[in-house]
Structure 1
């Protein structure tokens, strides 16, 4: 159980606080409801650029990092298609220094031409290193553009092309900042050795005077389900053939999301998972096999992925079939789906078993509980729960309510071969044209 209190400022900033007297530290986390899905299709990568620009100096603080280091702290950030998150850690006695820093960059950036040029070059170089010059680096670009034909999820967080970042102007930066980085579009989460009274006084002192802003609406349409199976084959400088099968799945908080998360654990998490036992130990076709979800706010992807030992076209086709067949077995449910004690003869061959569901739920509960021991992770989890409008203490119970019947029904609905999007990524050494 995580104890917390929450309040909202007059400008719309939501604040959630966990008091932890067992540490001498404090974590301050600011989660903004803006990500790559909020970008213009001709200026992608802007949200990620902003993650960097937010460290380039604000109205009253020209050097963010120097101030936080002077307070004995550290900071970092991340961007996704949905959100941008900033977090700071310092000794609790310097709590208000962190509030000062975060409030000043929420109030307004310095909009320095030098900072824009420096961070523009950093982001473009990161694009080259992680997506252009790395094996499989453009895999997410290829996969997303196949799965999403209309929705902005069709472009990864890094952006569609470095040229989009090259043309960003100072006016573009100002427009994006003032239409998204606002107190009424953010959650401030605090965890550490600061009392509720300290938090309220400090937050009101540093954040209450920041004006709320008009947040740009999201006007894009939802992505329709594929009207049939899709397939793309590409070539690149990669060591092995990689196959990915992606299925559209519900977004966070929608019916079936939790079941999809558990399905990927049943398939590929740990040495007792199906992929490990049947595809890796029981076959010489794969060198690795995995299953993951994108975990996005709007309908995302459940992905089955495998790297192949044999680069032949026949092996790739067999691999795709094996991945899909292994996953489709979960569509069968045990004859007594709500019993946690069972014998193997009670379950249909290949069907998901209560033991597998219980193991996946226990793994999630364990990971969630142990990660919450960290005051920094607790602050980030509290921020996300508040952004979702949920009680953080209800997350694990929601997973525990899932039954084998629910898993089987979701697998039957999501793992539909009519909606499968298959990407085959081959080494350039093989004969054939380069895509």
Structure 2
């Protein structure tokens, strides 16, 4: 259980405090309720671009990293389709430095044209290196628009295409910032060797003077139910043929999610999973294979992906997966298997929360999703999944008509 206190500032900033005085360290996590799903389809990649711009200087502070390093702090950030998250760890004695830095860039960025130009180049280079010039790097650039026809999950967080970042103007950047980077569109979690009263005073000093804005109302187009199988074939100079199969799943905090998550674990979480045992160890069809869920705040995907062994066709691998899924959905699932993955999932959760920063992030994620108490209900929900529920979800999810399949052929 993660203990916490909660209060809200006059400008709408939601603040959570988790006290842990075991070490003189503090974690400051600020989550903005904006991800790539909130972008204009013709101006994608902005949420990720902002992750970079936020480190390029704010209204009164030219160099964010320099000041943080001087007080022994570390920081980073990440963007997802659902959120953008910034975090700092530092000695608790220097906590106020984190408040000073984060509040200044929430107030306003420097909006220096040179910074924009530099970060555009950085993101474009990242796009090329990670997505275009890396083996299998473009998988999600192709797979997302196959799986999603309507919902903005149909483009990757990096963006649909490089031109959207290349053509970003300062007016575009300012409009995105003042629409989404608002105190009333954020969650602040302060964890570690701190007190609630200390955090309250620092919040009043540094964050409360920042004016609230008109928080965006999210009204995204919902993805219609998939009723027919979809297929895409592509090729590239990669080491091995690869196969990707995705199926639509409940949203991260929706009923049925944990059953689907555990079903994916039985299928492909580890080297004791069904896919690995049958298709890698026993029949040597795949060189590697796994299954996982995307855990999206809106309905997401369960993904099965594998690299074929030399001399095995993708069609043969696809047929083998389909046979295994048919057996999985039509025959009784073993109680021993379910207990194993339940305990694995719970132990992963428990061990992850040994780290202070992970506790802070998990609080922020649950609070942003709508109910901070969800963070303390995870283990219970995992253990509550029954064989009947898992079987029902598996039959509903792994319907061949709900599948999007991509063959990724290796060419020389």
Asked if TM exceeds 0.5, the reply is: yes
| 2:168 counterpart residue number | 168
Aligned to 1:418, the other structure's residue is in SS state helix
State how far apart, in whole Å, the 1-side matches of 2:332 and 2:293 are: 21
**Residue correspondences, number:** 410
- What is the rounded CA distance, in whole Å, between the counterparts of 1:285 and 1:399 in structure 2? 32
Gaps of at least 5 residues in structure 2 are none
Matches for 1:57-72 after TM superposition, within 5 Å:
57-72=57-72
| Aligned partners of 2:267 and 2:274 also within 8 Å | yes
Distance 1:409 1:390, change over 3 A: farther
Q: What residue is the counterpart of 2:314 in the other structure?
A: 316
Tell me the SS of whatever aligns to 2:60.
coil
Q: Within 5 A, what are the aligned runs for 1:75-224?
A: 75-224=75-224
Deviation by residue 1:247-303 (Cα, 9 ceiling, x = unmatched): 111111112211111111111122321122111111111100110111111111111
Q: Could you tell me which residue of structure 1 aligns to residue 372 of structure 2? A: 390
Q: CA deviation at 1:209?
A: 1.3
Match of residue 323 from structure 2 = 325
Give the CA deviation at 1:324.
Answer: 2.6
Corresponding residue for 2:334? Answer: 353
For the residue of structure 2 that corresponds to 1:129, the secondary structure is: helix
* CA 190–311 in structure 1, closer or farther in 2 if over 3 Å, else same: farther
The residue that corresponds to 1:418 in the other structure is 401
Structure 2 CA distance, aligned partners of 1:181 and 1:325? 48
Distance 1:353 1:205 in 2: 57
Moved over 4 A (4+): none
Find the aligned partners of 2:316 and 2:13 in 1 and give their Cα distance: 53
Describe how 1:236-385 pairs up with structure 2 within 5 A: 236-310=236-310, 315-332=313-330, 350-385=331-366
Q: Match of 2:228? A: 228
C-alpha RMSD of matched pairs (Å): 1.2
Contact (CA 8 Å) 2:39, 2:46: kept in 1 or not? Answer: yes
Whole-angstrom CA distance in 2 between matches of 1:409 and 1:236: 38
Q: Report the Cα distance in structure 2 between the residues aligned to 1:224 and 1:5, rounded to whole angstroms.
A: 39
- Does the aligned pair in 2 maintain the 1:241–1:311 contact within 8 Å? no
SS at match of 2:377: helix
State whether residues 364 and 372 of structure 2, in contact with CA within 8 Å, keep that contact through their aligned partners in structure 1.
Answer: no
Give 1:191 deviation, angstroms.
1.1
Structure 1 residue runs of 5 or longer lacking an equivalent are 333-349, 430-435
Aligned residue in 2 for 1:433: none
Rounded to whole Å, the distance in 2 between the matches of 1:20 and 1:106 is 26
Cα distance in 2 between the residues matched to 1:368 and 1:166:
40
SS of the equivalent of 1:281 reads helix
Q: Aligned residue for 2:55?
A: 55
Alpha-carbon distance in 2 for matches of 1:213, 1:71: 32
